[in-house]
Amino acid sequence: MTTYEPRDVRPGIAALAERLRAALGRDSVIDDHQRLRTYECDGLAHYKVTPALAVLARDTAAVVETVRACAEGGVPFVARGSGTGLSGGALPRADGVLIVTSRMRHIVEIDRENQRAVVEPGVINLDVSRAAKPEGYYYAPDPSSQQVCSIGGNVAENSGGAHCLKYGFTTNHVTGITFVTADGEAVRLGGKAPDPTGYDLLGAIVGSEGTLGIATEVTVRLTRLPEAVRTLLAAFPSTDDAGAAVSEIIGAGVVPAAIEMMDALAIEAAEAAVHCDYPRGAGAVLIVELDGPADEVERQFEEVERHCRTHRAFEIRIAEDDVERALFWKGRKSAFAAVGRISPDYIVQDGVIPRTALPEVLHRMTELSRSSGVRVANVFHAGDGNLHPLVLFDDAVPGEAERAEEVSGAILDLCIEYGGSITGEHGVGSDKAKFMPRMFTEADLDTMQLVRCAFDPAGLANPGKVFPTPRLCGEVPGRHKGAHPLQEAGIAEVF
C-alpha cells in the first residue's frame, strides 16, 4: 500500500476553507484530518492520500464557487462521486481540495417522450433505471457496482458493464452535460437532441477521468424495456471450450445483450460468498442473455444453446423467471468482492483483447500464474474481450505483493501484445499511468496532453492522473533534459 501524507499543505488552504464556509455553509466544508481520512482513497485502496480540504457540494453553483476559488488560489482539485472507482482516479491531493458530489443526487427529469433522463452526478446508476421503469424504459450501461456507483463517476471513467456488448458504454448514452471548467465556468454541452452540432466535446469529456473539469448535470439516453429477456447459464469443462462457444455465437451473427465468463477460481469465490449454486465441476461458466422482440429472442436462444452444446457444455440452465435470472447474475455481479473469501488481498485488473485471442491469452495467463506461484481468477465480458483478472496474494507474506504486481503488469503487456488495451472501463487513474508509454508513443502522449491543456491551462483539474509524466501547458512537446519541475517539487513521479 502506498500512503502519501501532506508534506507542505499550502498556507492558503485555511483561508480557502473560510471563504468556502462563508459561501456554502459550514457543514459543506471539512478540514478535520480524521474526517478527511474518509476520503483518502477510492475503491483501489492500494494508494491513499488525505486531502487538505473536502467540499460536499449540493449543486452546480457550489461546484462553480469551489473550482473558481481553487483557480484563483492555484490550488489543485479532484472530483469524487461514490468512490467506487478501481484505478485511483479519485485519489485526492495532499495539497488540494476534494470536491465530493455524492449529495447531488436529484433525478431532475424523466422525459419519456424524448427517451431521456436528466440527473445530477451523485445519482446512483441503478436508480435511473428504477425511476424510468414505470415509463417503460431503463438506463442500459450497468457496471457490476451499479447499486452503489454514481453517474458522475460513470461519465468520468466511461464505465461499461455486462450489457455493453449490445448497448455500448457510457459515451453512447450521454447526450448532454452541464460542465464546470477548470477556471470555474459552468457551460452546457449538448442536450436532449440525438446528434449535437459542432465538435464532439462530449466525446472528449466522457472518459477524461476528471482531468478536464467536473460534470454537474448529465442528460442520458433511456432504452425501452425489451419485450422478452432470456438468460442461459452454461457450464463447460474449461475456459477453452467456453471461449470457443463465444466465438461461434458472435460469428453466427448473434449479438446477445451480454456474454459473461467466469473460471473455476472465480466460481469458487462466488460460491463461498453468495452461494449461487453454479454447476459443480465447471472449469468455466457462461452467462448469456438475449433481449428484444420475443420471436427473435426465441430463435437466437436456440442457436446459442446449440453452440454451447457443440462446444462441450455439460449442463445448461435456463432461467424460468426474474428470480432465477437474478440468481444467475448474483454470482457474476458479486465476483470482485467475493474473491476476498478466498484471498486476503487481490488486485482487480482491467484490460482488453480481441475476442478471438481469448483462448491463447488465457493459456498464457495460466502459464504466468503457474510460473510465478500467484493465483489468478478470471471474470470477464467475454463477448467484447474485456478481461477482469483478479490477481490474488497475501500482503502479510514478504514478497507476495511485489510478485502480484509483476503478474498484473505482465497481463497488461499481454493485452497490448495481442492488439488490445490496458483498460476497458476502469480507467487509467493513478494505477496505470506507468503503463501508458507501453501502449502509446511519446508523440501520442504529448498530443493527448495538449488537449488537456486546452481545457485546463493551469493543470489544476485532477493533476497527476492518466499520464506518466506531467506536462506544464507552456511546454513545447518533445524530449526534454533534466528533472521536470513537478518532479523536483515532489508532486509527480516520472516513470
Can you tell me the distance from the alpha carbon of 170 to that of 14, in angstroms, rounded to the nearest whole number?
Answer: 38
The CA-based diameter of the chain, rounded to the nearest angstrom, is 69
Residue 489's pLDDT is 55
Please state the separation of Cα 226 from the chain's center in Å.
26
Residue 6's pLDDT is 44
Residue 245's pLDDT is 94
Rounded mean pLDDT of 375-395?
A: 93
Indicate if the pLDDT at residue 361 is higher than 60. Answer: yes
What angle (nearest 5°) sits at the alpha carbon of residue 208, between those of residues 204 and 209? 165
Indicate if the pLDDT at residue 495 is higher than 50. Answer: no
The predicted model scores a pTM of 0.91
Indicate if the pLDDT at residue 473 is higher than 80. Answer: no
What angle (nearest 5°) sits at the alpha carbon of residue 75, between those of residues 74 and 77? 130
Indicate if the pLDDT at residue 463 is higher than 70. Answer: yes
Lowest mean pLDDT among 29-43, 184-198, 271-285, 478-492: 478-492
Lowest mean pLDDT among 252-256, 348-352, 355-359: 355-359
- Give pLDDT tens digits for 98-149: 999 999 999 999 999 999 999 999 999 999 999 999 999 999 999 989 999 9
Residue 481's pLDDT is 56
Let me know if 35 is exposed, middle or buried by CB neighbors in 10 A (0-12, 13-18, 19+): exposed
Report long-range pairs for 145-149 (Cβ below 8 Å, ≥24 apart). Answer: 145/43, 145/84, 148/82, 148/84, 148/124, 149/81, 149/82, 149/84, 149/124, 149/125
Indicate if the pLDDT at residue 394 is higher than 80. Answer: yes
Residue 7's pLDDT is 43
Indicate if the pLDDT at residue 488 is higher than 70. Answer: no
**Angle formed by the axes of helices 358-372 and 239-251, nearest 10°:** 160
Can you tell me the distance from the alpha carbon of 126 to that of 109, in angstroms, rounded to the nearest whole number?
Answer: 15
Indicate if the pLDDT at residue 482 is higher than 90. Answer: no
Backbone φ and ψ for 314, nearest 5 degrees, come out as -95, -10
Indicate if the pLDDT at residue 363 is higher than 80. Answer: yes
Mean pLDDT, all residues of the chain: 92
In contact, 95 and 117? CB cutoff 8 Å: no
Indicate if the pLDDT at residue 352 is higher than 60. Answer: yes
Can you tell me the distance from the alpha carbon of 80 to that of 214, in angstroms, rounded to the nearest whole number?
Answer: 9
Q: What percent of the chain has pLDDT over 90?
A: 82
